[in-house]
Amino acid sequence: MNIKKLLNSLKKIKDNDQYTIEGWILANRGNEKIRFLSLNDGSTSDNLQVVIKGKNILDFKIDKINLGTSVKVSGALILTPKSPQPIELVVSTLEIINTSDDDYPIQKKETTLDFLREIPHLRHKTNLFRTIMLIRNSLVFELHKYFQENGFINVASPIITSNDCEGAGETLEVNNPNNKNDYFFKERAYLGVSGQLHAEAYANGFKKVYTFAPTFRAENSHTSRHLAEFWMVEPEVAFANLNDVILLADNLLKTIIANTLKNYPSEMKILNDLKNGTLIPTLKDFINKDLKILDYKETIKILEKNKNMFEDQNIFFGMDLSSEHEKFIAEKIVNGPVALINYPKELKAFYMYQNTDNKTVAAFDLLVPGIGELMGGSQRESRYKKLEQRLKELNIKQEPLQWYLDLRRYGYAPSSGFGIGFERLVMYVTGISNIRDVIPFPRTPGGIKM
Amino acid sequence: MNIKKLLNSLKKIKDNDQYTIEGWILANRGNEKIRFLSLNDGSTSDNLQVVIKGKNILDFKIDKINLGTSVKVSGALILTPKSPQPIELVVSTLEIINTSDDDYPIQKKETTLDFLREIPHLRHKTNLFRTIMLIRNSLVFELHKYFQENGFINVASPIITSNDCEGAGETLEVNNPNNKNDYFFKERAYLGVSGQLHAEAYANGFKKVYTFAPTFRAENSHTSRHLAEFWMVEPEVAFANLNDVILLADNLLKTIIANTLKNYPSEMKILNDLKNGTLIPTLKDFINKDLKILDYKETIKILEKNKNMFEDQNIFFGMDLSSEHEKFIAEKIVNGPVALINYPKELKAFYMYQNTDNKTVAAFDLLVPGIGELMGGSQRESRYKKLEQRLKELNIKQEPLQWYLDLRRYGYAPSSGFGIGFERLVMYVTGISNIRDVIPFPRTPGGIKM
């Protein structure tokens, strides 16, 4: 039984129940007569207090135990409802597996996030990164669970594609390392930037599908919100329109965030304290508030009226909203989550459904206070002719996408979907402001650590 | 309520309950007075029989409905316990969403798997591929569920690494497409062949972790068992030895296969019929039999005694077992699943724990009747000096792996783990013999379809 399960079953524990646990030592305090070890086993951010008394201190070489030491301990559980920790373990046997060398870089004194980014193989041994990665894991499983319980089929979209059309220059190319001109796949191959087009093929047949896979972008930006390698979650639903998937997105996010708050109270408290108590209220607010839906056209009018609020005061229909505009709408106008819909088609991808006004497409971006855009999606263009026409307008070659157009010719059920940048979601739920801190081994231009 | 849920809740259904369903038409039979449509919605391999009578046939343009047509139908459910299908839907309204063009390649008459491999965007609309992909989805979720319920943390090992040491020439390189000599990551970058080393870092801290991600191999082989892009599942457990993870592998496989048999009876029946009724008995046999553990040394003695059974009769300690040897052991000697352990170190990777005989390492391969090797793993070398020495012997540069060696210096808890080639597992459970048929969009040398 790991520490998380132990702490969740305190009511079943009686004093002097025998318990054995393995883990790592985060503190070794006390004197010659009594010692207190903080032990963590990775199942939770909560530590177990381990007590060693009298002769045992010498017998088990407790003085040797330094930060990070791996141990196996057995003893009697004692409930301590009046202490800060609800239970402790009084040791009867203790085995030191391995101590840490003196240059162990994880120390009790505070270290900077920058420093920790240099040691991605060790930083999860800090309280903060342990907590972040536990929440990340919760969100991974909650996503799978939500989709599976709601009849979605997981689809492995291919990572390697022949298609770089979504944004030339932003894709990474895959080569035979021994001879860069000998194409392993007999043609130029790229790392996918999205699994959506392939997911659409599978939605037509399975009706509700989702991908959950790494995607890649060669964007040469060094911001706190971009990675060259990140995970995407892309649900796609046939027989569904824009409104259907906006409701899906809203329900999905509310469910997985509520479950994470419920199942990881200690971790969420740590993160909440870091944000001076604002994180949990923000998330609860998100869960409790109805999602507002606002037309892009209306949004422009609102921004126009308030343009003296912005650095960029050039507001017009057709403009791409900047981060300050998005945050203003979510925070000052709606004061809650909002789906902006019906963007000008020039701002969006070729496959989005063209509205009857001939100007806009049935797309949405979901904005939330504090972070801005969390995800985006659309209803897909279901009409073969419209899609063909749009490719021509945008000068995109049709031949490599013919299979995608052909979906429309064989009993096509119009579909809609959206993409969640998974690390953005983890940032939102943990309140962590740099994307490099929510993925174990971040990949950014200019360096591959480990 | 999708068709799978409907069929699972027959006991709650009463005649004339109203029901609305969307899906695709797989058959349109009957005459001018009564029509029978087979409708599938992707939730199961079972179809719903839809009945249209009299004037409705004309009113709803049933004659227009061809194979693959997408429809939305409403009507009354009628229980038909004496018919081949337990329930049918008598239509009151029917809406044709889209019909299929005449060249729709999925027809009732049989097509070859080879032909279907040319149309990966459509082949899931056949009964066979629908069934395979439903079982694939079941295994995806069962794996996540098993790990999460047993306290494992999902870890995103990086896909892009600087490390090609596992097998030079078998990795794919990642480049900036616009300038192959301008390294986007400032050094040569490769697509990972395994997430194991990084998972080990996280096991030391979280104790039980797993990866589930795509991996890549540039092997130029055109067999029915190799892909350039495939998914791997790699659990890693700290404080665990070889025997612990063999037991984990056995329990994991038995659990997820048993749950899939239970939750997907219709799909497993279809696949079982394809294998003349041998698939389900083989899987049940696997679930019910205790896993045998057999030493490599013993295995060589057994093969030696039976060498006239083999094409390759050169049997000696140190040899790599070929597929015929592995199948012989699993099928003729053990007649069930078997873990071969303690392989000669020359056959295995640098990171495996060196046994005291100085010849073998604490590795295992899990063999099953009918397929041979299903997965492999090992206890990891926990001793810094031994690991350093082994790198020297194998002429592997230490510097890029220094972080991995350093794990041993900071409170290292010895760990063990294994890797499951996910598509191999899907092949085993579905009985499908070509790996290109168990992944939606297979990537192999020489071509990228879609």
Partner residue opposite B229 with nearest CB, options A158, A216, A411:
A158
Both structure tokens of A311: 């650095």
- Note down pLDDT in tens along chain B; length 450 residues: 999 999 999 999 999 999 999 999 999 999 999 999 999 999 999 999 999 999 999 999 999 999 999 999 999 999 999 999 999 999 999 999 999 999 999 987 778 999 999 999 999 999 999 999 999 999 999 999 999 999 999 999 999 998 755 544 578 888 877 666 667 787 888 898 899 999 999 999 999 999 999 999 887 777 888 899 999 999 999 999 999 999 999 999 999 999 999 999 999 999 999 999 999 999 999 999 999 999 999 999 999 999 999 998 899 999 999 989 999 999 999 998 999 999 999 999 999 999 999 999 999 999 988 778 899 999 999 999 999 999 999 999 999 999 999 999 999 999 999 999 999 999 999 999 999 999 999 998 877 888
Residues of A within 8 A of B124 (CB-CB) are 201-202, 205-206
CB contact under 8 A, B70 and A134: no
CB contact under 8 A, A205 and B98: no
A56-111: pLDDT as tens digits: 999 999 999 999 999 999 999 999 999 999 999 999 999 999 999 999 999 877 78
A123-165: pLDDT as tens digits: 999 999 999 999 999 999 999 999 999 999 999 999 999 875 5
CB contact under 8 A, B177 and A174: no
> Minimal Cα–Cα distance from B331 to chain A, Å?
33
Does B405 lie at the interface with A, CB-CB under 8 angstroms? no
- B444/B438 Cα distance (integer angstroms): 13
Residue of A nearest to B44 (CA): A206
Q: Which of B145, B174, B183, B198 to mutate to test the interface with A (most CBs of A within 10 A)?
A: B174
Taking alpha carbons only, the member of A191, A291, A278 closest to residue A232 is A191
Pairing mode of beta strands B160-161, B173-175 = unpaired
CB contact under 8 A, A184 and B228: yes
Q: What is the DSSP letter of B447?
A: B
A158 DSSP β-pair partners:
none
Residue of B nearest to A186 (CA): B446
Taking alpha carbons only, the member of B164, B165, B186 closest to residue B175 is B186
Give me the residue label for tokens 């202490």.
A83
CB contact under 8 A, B174 and A171: no
- B424/B433 Cα distance (integer angstroms): 9
Partner residue opposite A169 with nearest CB, options B101, B159, B178:
B178
Does B21 lie at the interface with A, CB-CB under 8 angstroms? no
- B53/B430 Cα distance (integer angstroms): 39
Give DSSP secondary structure letters for A385-439.
Answer: HHHHHHHHHTT--SGGGHHHHHGGGBS---EEEEEEEHHHHHHHHH----GGGSS
- B104/A82 Cα distance (integer angstroms): 72
How many beta-carbon pairs under 8 angstroms link A with B?
331
Q: What is the DSSP letter of A372?
A: E
Neighbours of B93 (CB within 10 A): 12
Which CA distances in Å does A180 have to A279, B159, B173, B190? 49, 20, 9, 13
- ipTM here: 0.96
Does B404 lie at the interface with A, CB-CB under 8 angstroms? yes
Q: Which of B121, B230, B404 to mutate to test the interface with A (most CBs of A within 10 A)?
A: B121
User: Cβ(B134)–Cβ(B270) under 8 Å?
Assistant: no
H or E stretch covering A50: strand A48-53
A281-292: pLDDT as tens digits: 999 999 999 999
Q: Which of A174, A212, A385 to mutate to test the interface with B (most CBs of B within 10 A)?
A: A174
Contact map slice: A 233-272 vs B, CB within 8 A: 238-239
Which CA distances in Å does A274 have to A282, A369, A431, B280, B440? 14, 18, 9, 54, 43
A78 DSSP β-pair partners:
A88
Phi–psi pair at A37, nearest 5 degrees: -105, 140
- Range ranked top by mean pLDDT from A35-39, A313-317, B312-316: A35-39
> 3-class SS at A312?
coil
Distance of CA A445 to the CA centre of its chain: 20
Residues of A within 8 A of B198 (CB-CB) are 121, 440-441, 450
Phi–psi pair at A276, nearest 5 degrees: 55, 40
Residue of A nearest to B5 (CA): A151
Report the pLDDT value the prediction gives residue B171, as an integer from 0 to 100.
Answer: 84
User: Cβ(A45)–Cβ(A266) under 8 Å?
Assistant: yes
Residue length of chain A: 450
User: Cβ(B46)–Cβ(B5) under 8 Å?
Assistant: no
Cα torsion angle, B358, B363, B364, B365, sign: negative
Contact map slice: A 74-133 vs B, CB within 8 A: 97-101, 103-104, 106, 119-122, 124-125, 130, 133
Residues of B within 8 A of A151 (CB-CB) are 2, 4-5, 43
Which CA distances in Å does A344 have to A324, A348, A356? 19, 7, 12
A381-432: pLDDT as tens digits: 999 999 999 999 999 999 999 999 999 999 999 999 999 999 999 999 999 9
Contact map slice: B 406-445 vs A, CB within 8 A: 406-414, 439-441, 443, 445
- B406/A100 Cα distance (integer angstroms): 10
> 3-class SS at A304?
helix
CB contact under 8 A, B172 and A155: no
Residue of A nearest to B213 (CA): A213
